[in-house]
């Protein structure tokens, strides 16, 4: 699939970039990326992937735009209040880059529908705001063998990692799963919601942009990704820390006693 004259100009700063170039931009054009959530994290992910020329972007969200969203969910605007987030996001992406095809899915992801949803995509970026969705998406990506970029934010802190647990490292040890990092979800009600605790709007933009960068890295293949590494961001002190984590042989997906559900 060739790039048009307009695309060559649009993506010129990528094409001259060592490590991306024309071949990398071609990979982006044919890539299919699923973004889970069109909220605080999903907004910058969608915008930067569209601007970068990801050929097909799927977005799944069952919510509507509210006034309180607009402090951080920058893909939406005041006139979009009351509209489905996927419709608002689709309009914004069309304005940003007409070469991108957006596929919208208006439902909540769960353990029953996650595998069918993401099976046709190459990479998944999860910006969901609840643990049930995160576990459903991460488990489904393991069984469907899809790279997963996961971001999360708290009040003034954020985190980011990439998961490829269906592969092994150079040492032959399986890559860790999300359940190696967080074996069980926290008890219901133990962690305040965004509405209860608040969240710094610009922080979601920071983490979301880095999620988009990780997705681009997975597609194009430059640099060192975050497989087996968790990036932690403290927005109060503007401090970044990366910690390594590894495979837990007791995890239920690819542990030593795991039963295959493929």
Q: Give me the active site residues, please.
A: 194
Instruction: Say how far apart CA 164 and CA 186 lie, in whole Å.
Output: 23
Report the 3 state secondary structure along the chain.
CCCCHHHHHHCHHHHCCCCCHHHHHHHHHHCEEEEECCCCCHHHHHHHHHHHCCCEEEEECCCECCHHHHHCCCCCCHHHCCCEHHHHHHHHHHHHCCCCEEEEECCCCCCCCHHHHHCCCCEEEECCCCHHHHHHHHHHHHHHCCCEEEEEECCCEEEEEEECCCCECCCCCECCCHHHHCCCCCCCCCCCCHHHHCCCHHHHHHHHHHHHHHHHHHHHCCCCCCECEEEEEECCCCEEEEEECCCCCCCCCCCCCCCCCC
């Amino acid at each position: 699939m060739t790039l048009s004259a307009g695309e060559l100009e649009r993506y010129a700063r990528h094409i001259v970039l060592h490590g991306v170039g024309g071949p990398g931009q071609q990979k982006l054009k044919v890539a299919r990326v699923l973004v889970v959530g069109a909220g605080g994290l999903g907004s910058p992910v969608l915008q930067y992937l569209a601007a970068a020329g990801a050929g097909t972007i799927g977005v799944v969200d069952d919510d509507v735009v509210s006034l309180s969203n607009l402090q951080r969910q920058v893909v939406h605007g005041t006139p979009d209040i009351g509209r489905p987030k996927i419709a608002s996001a689709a309009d914004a992406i069309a304005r940003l880059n007409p070469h991108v095809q957006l596929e919208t899915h208006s439902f909540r992801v769960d353990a029953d529908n996650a595998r069918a949803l993401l099976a046709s995509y190459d990479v998944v970026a999860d910006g969901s705001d609840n643990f049930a969705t995160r576990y459903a998406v991460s488990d489904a990506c393991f069984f469907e063998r899809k790279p997963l970029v996961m971001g999360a934010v708290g009040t003034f802190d954020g985190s980011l990692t990439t998961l490829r647990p269906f592969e092994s490292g150079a040492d032959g040890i399986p890559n860790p799963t999300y359940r190696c990092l967080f074996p069980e979800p926290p008890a219901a009600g133990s962690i305040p919601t965004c509405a209860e605790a608040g969240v710094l709007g610009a922080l979601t933009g920071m983490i979301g942009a880095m999620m988009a960068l990780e997705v681009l890295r997975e597609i194009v293949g430059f640099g060192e990704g975050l497989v087996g590494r968790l990036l932690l961001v403290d927005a109060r002190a503007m401090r970044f820390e990366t910690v390594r984590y590894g495979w837990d042989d007791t995890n239920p997906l690819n542990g030593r006693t795991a039963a295959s559900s493929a």
